[in-house]
Amino acid sequence: MALIVQKYGGTSVGSPERIENVARRVARWHARGHQLVVVVSAMSGETNRLIALAKEIQEQPDPRELDVMVSTGEQVTIGLLAMALKKVGLKARSYTGAQVKIITDSAFTKARILKIDEERLRADLDDGCVVVVAGFQGVDEHGNITTLGRGGSDTTGVALAAALKAEECQIYTDVDGVYTTDPRIVPEARRLKTITFEEMLEMASLGSRVLQIRSVEFAGKYKVRLRVLSSFEDEGDGTLITFEEDENMEQAIISGIAFNRDEAKITILGVPDRPGIAYQILGPIGDANVDVDMIVQNVGYDGLTDFSFTVHRNDYQKTLKTLEPVVKHIQARGIISGDKIAKVSVVGVGMRSHAGIASTAFRTLAEEGINIEMISTSEIKISVVIDEKYTELAVRVLHKAFNLDQAS
């Protein structure tokens, strides 16, 4: 007998029929003798609907009040699921985040979980109950309702698994696992049986949006066994997120090709080469709350440098505005910029011990005549910025070059 936390996302609980499906799945696990804590999201589309409603009253909704109302989406689902569980003959009890006592800080709309009081849940579990908990929400030390940021139910699941020392946290979603790349672009993409936490973080932040990044970080920190599975299939082991140190089998060198079309590139031309220049450029951007991703600068023979970096497309215009006075002040020659770019990344822990990955990637792109505008690397990934129109081609040829279509 094991204690298992299962989390079901919005599409998995998108209608009463689907909620009854979830109840049947939970019942099967329960029948095998497991104790179950089930975390649910709001029904699909509901959180968006609630946010839109708030915006009809206030363009920038008051964060505290927004959390009060947006958290109701999940409250509906827990009640419905507990009913469905009772209907199939199980003992079940539902709780909001505040009822459990999922204590968070007071950062409304993006709160962090500080601690969980798991006593009440334990008593229910020992009593044979399935416990249903609202994802995405908590309560601060003053009793205010908080939410954990979009996609936050994943984090609720992982945090409960950590607090209860669960055997496994299973994230049920509308895909059956983590793939070597987006199957809509490469039909030969394969589901990975395992992927390490670090790779998963790279894949997630690079645009393979299966799990909320914060939940992956949390699971890594508290050593929670995390698995992604489909709620629409009865079979299948999904993808297990592993810790590199307990990998005993031969690990693939490259796990996947990630891509991201959410960035824009900015180049400041003819920047004088002197100490403090990078700070003069990037300081104001940081102050404007804009995150910078890739950065490239290299001093030319004339003592001037072109300084390029990328930001999220949502921050593109704001960044250009911020830079106007900066460019004048540092006496650079001007700015060129564009948002028709894509970042494509080759990800794999095997890079640490295998040479030649970068040259294979660059040769593959060269053979297709794809120009690389920027390059950045870490221990386990190589990213390139290319013209957006070549995104799909680049992903396809890289996927093939690293034999990702072949079962390992």
Contacts with ligand ASP, residue ranges (CB under 6 A): 9-10, 41-42, 47, 73, 135-136, 150-154
Task: Residue 318: name its binding partner from ligand ASP, Mg ion, none (Cβ under 5 to 8 Å by kind).
Answer: none
- Minimum CB separation of residue 305 from ligand ASP in Å reads 42
- Pick 99 or 109: Cβ nearer ligand ASP: 109
Order across the sheet with 102-104: list the strands. Answer: 113-116, 102-104, 137-139, 145-147
- Pick 136 or 179: Cβ nearer ligand ASP: 136
Sequence-separated (6 or more) residues with CB below 8 Å from residue 244: 196, 197, 198, 251, 349
- Residue 9 binds Mg ion (CB under 5 A): yes
- Residue 151 binds Mg ion (CB under 5 A): yes
- Residue 14 binds Mg ion (CB under 5 A): no
> What is the Cα–Cα distance from 4 to 197, expressed in whole angstroms?
20
Task: Residue 150: name its binding partner from ligand ASP, Mg ion, none (Cβ under 5 to 8 Å by kind).
Answer: ligand ASP
- Minimum CB separation of residue 152 from ligand ASP in Å reads 5
- Pick 47 or 196: Cβ nearer ligand ASP: 47
Order across the sheet with 292-299: list the strands. Answer: 292-299, 304-312, 263-272, 334-338
CA angle 99, 42, 147 (to 5 degrees): 55
Task: Tell me which stretch binds Mg ion (CB under 5 A): 28-36, 151-159, 250-258, 390-398.
Answer: 151-159
Instruction: Give the amino acid at 292.
Output: V
The pair of structure tokens assigned to 48 is: 């968006």
Sequence-separated (6 or more) residues with CB below 8 Å from residue 265: 308, 309, 310, 337, 338, 339, 341, 373, 374, 385
- Pick 9 or 256: Cβ nearer Mg ion: 9
- Pick 241 or 253: Cβ nearer ligand ASP: 241
Collapsed DSSP state (helix, strand, coil) of residue 152:
coil
- Minimum CB separation of residue 174 from ligand ASP in Å reads 12
- Minimum CB separation of residue 352 from ligand ASP in Å reads 33
Shortest CA distance to 209 belongs to which of 286, 162, 151?
151
- Pick 9 or 220: Cβ nearer ligand ASP: 9
- Minimum CB separation of residue 153 from ligand ASP in Å reads 3
Task: Residue 177: name its binding partner from ligand ASP, Mg ion, none (Cβ under 5 to 8 Å by kind).
Answer: none
Rg (C-alpha) for the chain, rounded Å, is 24
Phi/psi of residue 102, nearest 5 degrees: -90, 100
Q: Contact residues for Mg ion (CB under 5 A)?
A: 9, 151
